Amino acid sequence: MMRSLFSAVSGLKTHQTKMDVIGNNVSNVNTTAFKSSNVVFSDIMYQTTAAATAANAATGKGGVNAKQIGLGVTTGATKVTITNPGSAQTTGDPFDIRLTDKVSTNFFIVNDGMRNIFTRSGSFFIDGAGNLAMTSTGYTVMGWQVDPETGNIKKDTVSALRVMQEKNLTSPPESTTAATIGGIIDKNDTNVTSDEGQTLNLNFYDRLGYQYVAQFSLKLTDAKTQSYTVELSDILDSENKSILSEYIDGGGDLAAVFGRNTTAKKTYPITQKDIKYMTDGDFNLGYQGEGYYFSYSTFDTAGNPLTEYVQVTVDPATNTYTIPEYSYYADAQSGMDQTGAITVPEKIGAVTDLFGITQAQLNSIGSPTVPTGSFNTTTGAFEYTTPAVNFTLKIDPDNGNFSYVGMQGSDQVTLNLANTLGNQFTDIDIDFSSCISSDNGGKSTIAAEGGFENGTVGKGKALGTLIGLSVSNDGKIFGAYDNGNTTLLGQIAVAQFANASGLEKIGENCYGTTLNSGEFDGIGVEIAADGSSMTSGELEMSNVDLSTEFTQMIITQRGFQSNSRIITVSDTLLEELINLKR
């Protein structure tokens, strides 16, 4: 039989194999991250009819080459063009990730439930268990977890990236530790010059994430020297309930919360009611024993000086101030005497009924001994002064720039909350250095906001709820929360192989290792180690080039056709041989 027949048959088979590969390439032209294959032909063994001979110098004959006849062709290799990336396809989905290789070819590591396998297809989603997984197969994406102690990625054996687990659904709150009060103060602003002053609201958070509002009052005290006072007016919770009033009503000292300016005074009028011998004299409101007392100097009908004491007791259950049945008086010579000559009705009621002073005013005194006041004969009221709970804000009148707050050289004051309102609070340092004074048409822009350095330091945050996930160029997965926090949740690892083309295609866009690809160490590498990166919102398309495939299809068709002609011609030759005996 003729050798050409068998050579042609091998050619038909090999070209059919190549056509099968081309068909597979074309069918996967739109498969995400598909890598096309090429068939490499290899000739088969040769039949040697005459061996080669060497040159013979004695006879003068030259050497003769071997006489060989080829026996056909076979498939030498099916080469996967795995190192050639496909084009980028923009999807906008944050879990569609495209690998961009710099030096080595990178692969995502996924797990099919039994083993780690590898893929270039970055179409992922969050499955029902909260894992990052392949959209097409559900295989879990593997990577590194966050070290709970350091908050950094711990590069250990890869594990499933369960980014939507319970601990990642919320972000812890942060208490406010710093604030800024700044802006333009116009000394002609009627709000600043009024008795109530300009109101400034500072929103802040406690350690548990509850929000509060601290209200301050800015008042002009001296327009010529550009002096102002900043006073803490109230602290309200999220339900507009005054927690500062509760603190004061419970006996707390307002000065402990915001400090006391000893250079400024507050004047309270106290109207006398139901007290006998109301003549001009010196009055004191102080603290004695278990309750407040009121004393004044007066004269009896004979002109003898007397000092009368009215003891005020407190009922803690109702916060009611009451006066006992008897008042006490003493003359200058004999001291305290209880004759009963001077009496007041039993249990008159709250201290406001007797003196016209509110409970909050009484508690805000904050000192057992109150400075002596004076009796105003025109209004019929006793007026006493106490140090105001505020700070002086000084502006340089020459240039309108901030000078100091509280004292020379200081640009901050502290709102002391931790030791007064409760341990769930933290103290807040308030910076005033950005305050300036300028003519702004009678309108001040001064305002309060949480945090230093444009709110980036110490602003505080409420409890955050997870609202989004994102993947950075180095594969790190971050959670975004509605309180502004961004938290690292894990990192996608990649695998690199010494011979990526040696990987075995196992279907479903995945590859497995072989003896010729190199092994996976179970840990993987960070994609940015060699300058490679991940791009979120994009997918790698198939690297099949249709123009190349159709060209190869034509060449393969002609090759197949040519081999078929060899068989036809060989058959004709055999026919002629058979016809020789006719």
- Which range (129-133, 309-313, 457-461) has the least confidence? 309-313
Cα separation, 82 vs 543, in Å, equals: 9
Structure token digits, residue 8: 């042609």
Instruction: Look at residue 367 in the predicted model and tell me its pLDDT.
Output: 35
More reliable by pLDDT, 44 or 280: 44
97 and 192 inside one domain: no
371 and 445 inside one domain: no
213 falls within a domain: yes
Helix 3-27 × helix 546-578 angle, to 10° = 160
| Residue 22 clears pLDDT 70, i.e. is over it | yes
Instruction: Look at residue 129 in the predicted model and tell me its pLDDT.
Output: 93
More reliable by pLDDT, 118 or 287: 118
| Residue 7 clears pLDDT 80, i.e. is over it | yes
534 and 552 inside one domain: no
44 and 117 inside one domain: no
Among 192, 232, 187, 226, smallest CA distance to 213 is for 232
Mean per-residue pLDDT, 405-434: 93
Residue 57: pLDDT band with limits 50, 70, 90: confident
162 falls within a domain: no
Instruction: Look at residue 408 in the predicted model and tell me its pLDDT.
Output: 86
Burial of 439 (0-12, 13-18, 19+ CB in 10 A): exposed
Instruction: Look at residue 265 in the predicted model and tell me its pLDDT.
Output: 61
CA torsion angle 108 155 497 503 (round to 10) = -40
Residue 127: pLDDT band with limits 50, 70, 90: very high
325 and 188 inside one domain: no
205 and 149 inside one domain: no
| Residue 567 clears pLDDT 50, i.e. is over it | yes
170 falls within a domain: no
Contact 527, 475 (CB under 8 A): yes
Q: Give 249-287 pLDDT, tens digit per residue.
A: 787 888 889 886 666 666 555 443 333 322 333 444 443
127 and 187 inside one domain: no
Among 120, 129, 135, smallest CA distance to 160 is for 129
Contact 390, 400 (CB under 8 A): no
Phi, psi of 374 (to 5 degrees): -145, 155
Mean per-residue pLDDT, 307-318: 52
Mean per-residue pLDDT, 168-180: 94
Cα separation, 296 vs 274, in Å, equals: 14
Contact 168, 487 (CB under 8 A): yes
Tell me how far the alpha carbon of residue 25 is from its chain's centroid. Answer: 45
Q: Residue 28: give the domain boundaries.
A: 3-49+66-76+548-581
167 falls within a domain: no
Mean per-residue pLDDT, 561-574: 91
Mean per-residue pLDDT, 53-57: 82
Tell me how far the alpha carbon of residue 8 is from its chain's centroid. Answer: 70
Instruction: Look at residue 303 in the predicted model and tell me its pLDDT.
Output: 53
Question: Which of 383, 408, 428 represents a domain boundary (last residue)?
Answer: 383
55 falls within a domain: no
Instruction: Look at residue 547 in the predicted model and tell me its pLDDT.
Output: 94
Q: Give 354-399 pLDDT, tens digit per residue.
A: 444 555 554 544 333 333 455 555 654 555 555 678 899 999 999 9
Residue showing tokens 């398309």:
541
Q: How many domains does the chain have?
A: 4
Contact 119, 108 (CB under 8 A): yes
159 falls within a domain: no
Residue 96: pLDDT band with limits 50, 70, 90: very high
Instruction: Look at residue 475 in the predicted model and tell me its pLDDT.
Output: 96
Question: Which of 409, 443, 459 represents a domain boundary (last residue)?
Answer: 459
Q: Give 234-249 pLDDT, tens digit per residue.
A: 999 999 999 998 888 7
Q: Give 322-347 pLDDT, tens digit per residue.
A: 544 434 333 333 333 333 333 333 33
Residue 50: pLDDT band with limits 50, 70, 90: confident
> Sign (positive/negative) of CA torsion 343, 345, 347, 350?
negative
Helix ranges (DSSP H) in 113-263:
190-193, 243-249, 254-258
Question: Which of 429, 459, 489 represents a domain boundary (last residue)?
Answer: 459
299 falls within a domain: yes
Identify the three-state secondary structure at position 29.
coil
Residue 476: pLDDT band with limits 50, 70, 90: very high
Q: At a CB cut-off of 8 Å and minimum separation 6, what does 83 contact? A: 101, 105, 500, 501
274 and 255 inside one domain: no
Mean per-residue pLDDT, 482-495: 94
| Residue 87 clears pLDDT 80, i.e. is over it | yes
Cα separation, 52 vs 68, in Å, equals: 10
Supply the mean pLDDT for the chain.
82
Pairing type for strands 178-185 and 428-431 reads parallel
163 falls within a domain: no
Instruction: Look at residue 3 in the predicted model and tell me its pLDDT.
Output: 83
189 and 230 inside one domain: yes
Q: At a CB cut-off of 8 Å and minimum separation 6, what does 78 contact? A: 21, 37, 38, 39, 40
Identify the three-state secondary structure at position 571.
helix
Mean per-residue pLDDT, 201-209: 96
251 and 301 inside one domain: no
244 and 304 inside one domain: no
Pairing type for strands 178-185 and 435-437 reads parallel
Residue showing tokens 């593997």:
142
Question: Which letter, b or e, does each residue of 175-211 get, where b requires 16 or more Cβ atoms within 10 Å of its Cβ?
Answer: bbbbbbbbbbbbbebebbbeeebbebebebbbbebbb
Q: What percent of the chain has pLDDT over 90?
A: 60
Mean per-residue pLDDT, 438-456: 91
Mean per-residue pLDDT, 6-22: 93
310 and 374 inside one domain: yes
Helix ranges (DSSP H) in 111-158:
none
Question: In Å, how far are 174, 424, 465, 472, 500 from 171, measured between CA atoms?
Answer: 9, 18, 6, 20, 41
Q: Give 512-544 pLDDT, tens digit per residue.
A: 999 999 999 999 999 999 999 999 999 999 999
Cα separation, 390 vs 387, in Å, equals: 9
